[in-house]
Structure 1
Amino acid sequence: MAADFNTIARPYAQAVFKLARDKGTLAQWSDTLGLLAALVEDDNLNPLLASPKLSPDQARDLVLRIAGEHLDAEGGNLVKLLAEKGRLLAAPAMARQYEDLRAEEEGTLDATVVSAQALDDKLQKELEAALGKRLKRKVRLHSEVDEHLMGGAVLRAGDLVIDGSVRGRLDRLATVLNR
């Protein structure tokens, strides 16, 4: 079903992106779409929005009531349109696609480094700079800790994965030895 949402979300994400770019409101729309995605993915709200018993008007009113003052007029109009077309559940896919378009426009890339221990700020900045130089983009590096890693780190940036973990090295060694 997620693939269906990606297809459904694409024209909406592109239209919102064009509007945001033209008006210089890329960050504001990131917030709006992030809010809508969070609401739709909420464990309590999602089953209600997915229920065929809820009319489009009821879905619209529910989301608008919860989002309240966090939506401007354009954000409210988007909610109305999505509800009317039965597309509210596509909001998370729409938000992801919008963020991809925004990152491409701004020349940025979100990357994640997973390590056995928390990285200090200096090392994180060095990794961010090195990755940015390699990929020729401004990189926003997010750090996660996975206690199951024995050491080293795994870096993910778009389609690029660099596995420098001890576990990854051991797995590669085992593969070579088992040939």
Structure 2
Amino acid sequence: MSLGSRRYATALLEIAKENNILDEMYQELEMVVGELTKEKKMWQLMTSAQVQKEEKEEILQKIFEKRIHNFLYSFLMVLLKKNRFFELELIFLAFKESYLSEKNILEASVLSAIKLTDEHMQKVQEQLEKRTRKKVIIKNIIEESILGGLVIYIGEQVIDGSVRNQLNVLRSNLQNIGLEETEVIK
């Protein structure tokens, strides 16, 4: 992430905090980035040096002026004027990181071989919140190669309770004591 992206994100975050619209700003910025990037042609148009700034301003005005807070709309116009609109996705990622930190929230990816039930997801979430003392938002990702168990990515931490990892540890332990690999643990 570029230093410029972080600076823009920090400026927007400070404006949102000062005006007590932090949650609104996050939701609206997420929506804007989502809408502009879901259509590849739209994103290419908005980030192309070949398209005039006036045309880009007109597009933003038609799509967002009445749907988002004036501060965010003005911020988007500043990015256009400063030829920094191409950094919008990175700005959002930096904003999101700061927003989640400000709100004492962590995001976690929970890999499992099969889709977890809502009950299992809630139990995992409760355990992670207890362990981190923060609110945790979890996302379940299906990864059949882990065979069973869970692999959890939360912040900089990885908790690997997968069957695949347990087999790898077993294989390593057996090799360390000099046993030959067998077909069972290959």
* Interval of TM-score (by shorter of Structure 1 and Structure 2): 0.7 to 0.9
In 1, distance between residues paired with 2:66 and 2:10?
Answer: 25
Question: Which one of 55, 74, 77 corresponds to residue 74 of structure 2?
Answer: 77
1:28, CA displacement in angstroms? 0.8
Say if 2:108 and 2:152, in contact at 8 Å, map to a contact too. Answer: yes
In 2, distance between residues paired with 1:95 and 1:49?
Answer: 16
Distance 1:147 1:70, change over 3 A: farther
Identity %: 23
User: Which runs of no fewer than 5 residues in structure 2 stay unpaired?
Assistant: 177-186
User: Which runs of no fewer than 5 residues in structure 1 stay unpaired?
Assistant: none
In 1, distance between residues paired with 2:29 and 2:123?
Answer: 31
Length-normalised TM-score, structure 1: 0.86
1:178, CA displacement in angstroms? 5.6
Aligned: 1:22 with 2:34: no
**What's the counterpart of residue 8 of structure 1?**
4
1:43-93 C-alpha deviation (Å, 9 max, x unpaired): 121222232211222222223323353223222111111100111121111
In 2, distance between residues paired with 1:69 and 1:51?
Answer: 24
Aligned: 1:32 with 2:28: yes
1:6-38 C-alpha deviation (Å, 9 max, x unpaired): 322111111111111122211111122112322
Aligned: 1:111 with 2:124: no
Equivalences for residues 104-143 of structure 1 within 5 A: 104-143=101-140
In 2, distance between residues paired with 1:13 and 1:67?
Answer: 19
In 2, distance between residues paired with 1:151 and 1:16?
Answer: 43
**What's the counterpart of residue 159 of structure 2?**
162
Length-normalised TM-score, structure 2: 0.83
Rg comparison, structure with higher value: 2
In 1, distance between residues paired with 2:90 and 2:172?
Answer: 37
In 2, distance between residues paired with 1:85 and 1:116?
Answer: 46
1:156, CA displacement in angstroms? 0.8
